[in-house]
Amino acid sequence: MEFLLQPLTLVTFFPLLGVLVLLFLPSENKNLLRWTAMITSLLTFGISLWVLGMFTASNPDLQLVAKYDWITVAGWNIQYHMGVDGLSILLVLLTAFLTPISILSTWTAVEERVKDFMIFFLLLEVGMTGVFLAHDLFLFYVFWEFTLVPMYFLIGIWGGPRRIYAAIKFFLYTMAGSILMLLAILWLGIQGGTFSVPELISAGGIPSTIQFWLFLAFTAAFAIKVPMWPLHSWLPDAHVEAPTAGSVILAGVLLKMGTYGFLRFNIPLFPQAALQLAPWIALFATIGILYGAAVSYAQADVKKLVAYSSVSHLGFVMLGMFALNSQGMQGAILQMVNHGLSTGALFLLVGMIYEQTHTREIKVYGGLWKITPILCSMMLIVSLSSMGLPGLNGFVGEFTILLGAWGAGTAGGAFESFGGVWWAALSALGVIMAAIYILYMFQKMFLGPEGSIVAEVKNHGHALRDLNWREIVTIVPILVFIFWIGLYPKPFFDLMGPSVDNLVAALQTAALAMP
């Protein structure tokens, strides 16, 4: 049982302790339930900081490895294998950081079945952290599929009017991708005699035609999760119907599981296929950037607008990653974190308004700045961060990605056919479009003449109020990071640098071996 005391086991499974406590608490005492979940998630965040403290940034390999035999009979070779490196450390921290914030945001928003809500939320945290830390394909698959279950309940029970449709669509869509990945995982396990990812990578030697198919099978799972255009149609439904905290986690962490999957499995396991298919992924990513931005602009529902903006932002992440050079990948990882922070905060703020007005239609809003100045100034910062204003986090990520994409296929790139300049130029258009739809949303909702909703809320007997202390405390930690990454991103890049360089070097070796 010594494996229970491994730092990575603790950070993953600690929320289960909270679940266990919650099970035995009375469901009437809602604040007790909330505090239990809150403290559990804060302690988990504490453990994640402890993990960060033990993490050596200059070491590109897996660290704090916990490796135990799990199922080793009958030709099986499955291990409990957890480890953290530069590719995953930030995402683990992001998960542990966003979970307490989301729980705090539900304080008054979730009044029904609080106990079940908190249990599902903590279970979700276990699944997400596990996904980022697992290095055995079977273990990874278990965590990966497991995240679906609590999220499905969160959307389906506490969601909006079309929640059931959205929940089932989310579940089936994601599962459709995963089952193809399952076949690919099994194939790898049979051929390699192990499910351990590092061992499979170092063994290598998968013929390039088979790499191609396996790459596609993994892509099916990850591209749906990201979601990449044209597989994104579940996302707006899930986002719009999910409760605020669900949207935050969905945008903030769950989508990153897809991009992380590409980085962790697709690229290192099938480097030749990755090199071969990178232009195609870049094409779809660029289409996603432009399409997402254009469709965002057309939305009448603010949550849908933010949802489509995610399609656009994650297009950047994919583009940077498949530039397959150090800048692109580092930008991609940072942008994953950025998107988690900015879009998470956007959903939180939208949720805080929605809690008072119960409508998400942009056109009924207007002139809120005078009534709710704190909310609006925070919204402004987050919006500017989301559209990539220099000095805030979004800019750093997008700029690095565009640099990476520009350089792909030229001297520093791992291969020739990418045509990076064109993709960079096209997707830079996406940055401009982001400015348009976000400023448009901001202007309609918070500036100009007073919208009809202000009067309507008054008719119901209470005026719109500004953020209270709890809500401010929810947002401020995110704002801190928005500025920190925007002004001084070096520590973040330092964390991931060595691991990314390692991966790029491996790719270059693979490129040389290509026929």
Beta bridge partners, 68, equal 80
Beta bridge partners, 79, equal 69
- Judged by CB under 8 A, the chain residues 185 through 244 that form the site for another protein are 186-187, 189-190
- Closest approach of Cβ 228 to another protein, in Å? 20
Q: Which helix (H) or strand (E) holds 64?
A: strand 63-71
Taken in order 358, 360, 366, 367, the sign of the CA dihedral is positive
Give CA–CA dist 397/300, Å, rounded.
28
Give residue for tokens 């030697």. 205
Give CA–CA dist 102/327, Å, rounded.
31
- By CB under 8 A, is residue 149 in contact with another protein? yes
**Binder of another protein out of 1, 74, 411, 512 (CB under 8 A):** 74
- By CB under 8 A, is residue 75 in contact with another protein? yes
Phi, psi of 69, deg, nearest 5: -65, 140
By C-alpha distance, which of 335, 239, 323 is closest to 274? 323
- By CB under 8 A, is residue 148 in contact with another protein? yes
Nearer Cβ to another protein (146/369)? 146
- By CB under 8 A, is residue 138 in contact with another protein? yes
By C-alpha distance, which of 56, 95, 9 is closest to 495? 56
- Closest approach of Cβ 170 to another protein, in Å? 11
By C-alpha distance, which of 56, 70, 216 is closest to 134? 70
- By CB under 8 A, is residue 116 in contact with another protein? yes
- Closest approach of Cβ 176 to another protein, in Å? 6
**# chain residues binding another protein, by CB under 8 A:** 37
Nearer Cβ to another protein (2/53)? 2
Q: How far is CA 392 from the centre of its chain?
A: 19
By C-alpha distance, which of 157, 160, 167 is closest to 113? 157
Pick the stretch among 10-18, 141-149, 198-206, 456-464 that binds another protein (CB under 8 A).
141-149
Give CA–CA dist 29/435, Å, rounded.
45
- By CB under 8 A, is residue 73 in contact with another protein? yes
Q: Write each residue from 168 to 187 as x if it is in contact with another protein (CB under 8 A), else as -, in one continuous string.
A: x--xx--xx--xx-xx--xx
- Closest approach of Cβ 226 to another protein, in Å? 19
- Closest approach of Cβ 265 to another protein, in Å? 17
Contact 127, 143 (CB under 8 A): yes
- Closest approach of Cβ 230 to another protein, in Å? 19
Q: Which residues of the shown chain bind another protein in the complex (CB under 8 A)?
A: 70-76, 113, 116, 138, 141-143, 145-146, 148-149, 152-153, 156-157, 163-164, 167-168, 171-172, 175-176, 179-180, 182-183, 186-187, 189-190
